[in-house]
Structure formats: C-alpha cells, structure tokens
C-alpha cells in the first residue's frame, strides 16, 4: 500500500464525506474489512479523486449519475452530501437525477429522487444547509 496516496485520500475523503463519517468508518473497521477501507481510501480517494484534471464538483456530479445507474442507494445517499459539500447545488443535483431518469429509466430516477431528498434533509440538519 502507498501511505502517501492513503494520506491524500484520507484528507479528500474527510473533506467530501465529512470527518465524522470517515472516522466512524475507519474506527469501526476490523481485520476483515480494514483492507477494503485502505483500498477505498488509497485508490478511490487518493489516486483518482486526488487528480486535479477534474474539479471535485464535477466528480461528484459524475458519481451521482453512476451510483443511480448502478442502483447503489446507500452510496448515493452518502455522495449527495458529498456533492453538496463540493458545491453542487440542489438544482444541479435535481438536473443530474432527471438525466438519470431519462437514460436509466423512470424507476431509477424515482428511487434517486427519494434517496437524494432524504440525504439533503439529513445534510441540512447536520450542516445547517439551506
């Protein structure tokens, strides 16, 4: 494993997903799933999110669309909050989800809107968003 990529990834992961969430994920990891936490932090957050060729806002919008297409509601919920932290507006989130509904199907869009609405409400409660 690459400690520099891990450290970079950890910094970005905390900035996007929230320090409390990331520390809880790492703190509750055991011998079985800690390798997955390291892999995710190092490669996803360090090696890819750490690249400067795309802004974090763009990466967040791409993630929202892909997670909807993959039917990953837990990850989608987490990344809606990350998108808001990265400057994606509620209007932009709505537009991404409308695009999902057209290209991935209405059921995917309906589920995505439901999950995003919950995530936005939780974000507003925790972060004091508008």
Has residue 127 got a pLDDT over 90?
Answer: no
Report, as an integer, the average pLDDT of 96-101: 98
Give the pLDDT confidence score for residue 94 in this predicted structure: 98
Report, as an integer, the average pLDDT of 88-99: 98
Give the pLDDT confidence score for residue 2 in this predicted structure: 74
Residues 33 and 96 occupy one common structural domain: no
Closest CA to 61 of 41, 85, 39, 45: 85
Residues 36 and 59 occupy one common structural domain: no
Has residue 128 got a pLDDT over 80?
Answer: no
What burial letters (b/e) apply to 56-92, b meaning 16+ CB within 10 Å?
beebbbebbbebbeeeebebbbbbbbbbbbbebebeb
How far is CA 130 from its chain centroid? 19
Q: In the 8-state DSSP scheme, what is residue 71?
A: T
How is residue 51 written in tokens? 């690249």
Lowest mean pLDDT among 5-9, 32-36, 126-130: 126-130
Residue 106 banded pLDDT, cuts 50, 70, 90: very high
Residues 46 and 74 occupy one common structural domain: no
Residues 40 and 81 occupy one common structural domain: no
Residues 117 and 82 occupy one common structural domain: yes
Residues 44 and 62 occupy one common structural domain: no
Taking the C-alpha atoms of residue 104 and residue 5, their distance in angstroms, rounded to an integer, is 34
Residues 96 and 73 occupy one common structural domain: yes
Q: In the 8-state DSSP scheme, what is residue 70?
A: T
For the chain, the domain total comes to 2
Has residue 111 got a pLDDT over 90?
Answer: yes
Residues 93 and 41 occupy one common structural domain: no
Domain housing 61: 55-130
For 14-64, what is each residue's pLDDT tens digit? 999 999 999 999 999 999 999 999 999 999 999 999 999 999 999 999 999
Give the pLDDT confidence score for residue 129 in this predicted structure: 52
Residues 28 and 83 occupy one common structural domain: no
Give the pLDDT confidence score for residue 21 in this predicted structure: 93
Residues 35 and 10 occupy one common structural domain: yes
Give the pLDDT confidence score for residue 116 in this predicted structure: 98
Residues 114 and 81 occupy one common structural domain: yes
């Amino acid at each position: 494993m690459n400690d520099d990529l891990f450290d970079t990834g950890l910094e970005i992961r905390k900035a996007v997903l929230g320090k409390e969430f990331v520390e809880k994920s790492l703190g509750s990891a055991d011998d079985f799933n800690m390798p997955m936490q390291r892999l995710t932090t190092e490669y996803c957050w360090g090696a890819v999110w750490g690249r400067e060729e795309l802004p974090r806002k763009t990466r967040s919008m791409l993630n929202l669309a892909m997670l909807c297409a993959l039917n990953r509601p837990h990850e989608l919920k987490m990344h809606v909050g990350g998108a808001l932290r990265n400057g994606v507006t509620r209007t932009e989130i709505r537009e991404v989800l409308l695009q999902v509904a057209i290209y991935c199907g209405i059921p995917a869009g309906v589920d995505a809107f439901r999950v995003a609405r919950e995530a936005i409400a939780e974000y507003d409660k925790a972060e004091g968003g508008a």
